[in-house]
């Protein structure tokens, strides 16, 4: 995994974006997932020198659900670099701000204290209620596999780990987090 990740990250966030675009190109049947042959093609196109057994082993380790295919989410999650201490600290501070009740999870009730829906386009148009807007916002942080309306610290970190992968500069990431969450 490290060999692939380091080759991609040599190009910074554009490497992850490029490899992500490549995912869509080699996904011949547009299934939003790729099989081992398509994955091998990605490795070849990106000119990463890996033995066949190494590629197959990597594919298996990335295939978290054991389906024999990599979803885009599995693919990107495996490639993103680990968060450094600065970024983790900023994410933790934002989580604590969002967790208005201090119970360790973010809920719609927490969002009511922190998020104003009055400018949400679907609220303005009357299409959605305040509750629907809040739930949509909460769902963006909630686990894809378990949208239970409770966002844990781990789910919040996972969300921002995905955002972080596309931001090369710690300074820019810090600025974004400070402005978004008034840190």
Task: For residues 5-28, give the mean pLDDT.
Answer: 73
The CATH number of whichever domain residue 122 belongs to comes to: 1.10.238.10
Are 40 and 93 in the same domain? Answer: no
* Whole-number pLDDT of residue 12: 62
* pLDDT (0 to 100) of residue 144: 78
Q: What is the mean pLDDT of the chain?
A: 88
Pick the closest to residue 131 from 119, 123, 143 (CA basis): 123
List, for residues 122-146, the tens digit of each pLDDT value. Answer: 999 999 999 999 999 999 998 877 8
What three-state secondary structure class fits 151? Answer: strand
Q: Is 96 helix (H, G, I), strand (E, B) or coil?
A: helix
174 burial level (CB within 10 Å; 0-12, 13-18, 19+): middle
Same domain (yes/no): 115, 63: no
Number of domains in the chain: 2
pLDDT for residue 13 is more than 80:
no
Q: What is the pTM of this model?
A: 0.77
Asked whether residue 71 falls in the same domain as residue 101, the answer is no
Report the range of poorest mean pLDDT among 41-45, 75-79, 130-134: 75-79
Domain residue limits at 171: 85-181
């Amino acid at each position: 995994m490290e060999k692939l990740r380091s080759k991609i990250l040599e190009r910074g966030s554009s490497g992850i974006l490029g490899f992500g675009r490549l995912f869509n190109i080699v996904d011949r049947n547009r299934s939003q997932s790729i099989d081992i042959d398509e994955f091998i093609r990605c490795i070849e196109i990106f000119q990463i020198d890996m033995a066949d057994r190494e590629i197959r082993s990597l594919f298996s380790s990335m295939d978290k659900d054991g389906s024999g295919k990599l979803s885009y989410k599995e693919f990107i999650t495996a490639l993103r670099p680990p968060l450094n201490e600065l970024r983790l600290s900023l994410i933790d501070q934002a989580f604590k701000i969002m967790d208005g009740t201090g119970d360790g999870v973010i809920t719609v009730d927490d969002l009511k204290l922190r998020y104003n829906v009055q400018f949400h386009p679907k609220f303005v148009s009357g299409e959605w209620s305040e509750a629907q807007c809040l739930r949509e916002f909460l769902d963006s942080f909630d686990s894809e596999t378990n949208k239970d309306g409770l966002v844990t610290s781990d789910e919040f970190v996972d969300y921002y780990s995905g955002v972080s992968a596309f931001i090369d500069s710690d300074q820019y990431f810090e600025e974004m987090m400070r402005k978004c969450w008034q840190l």
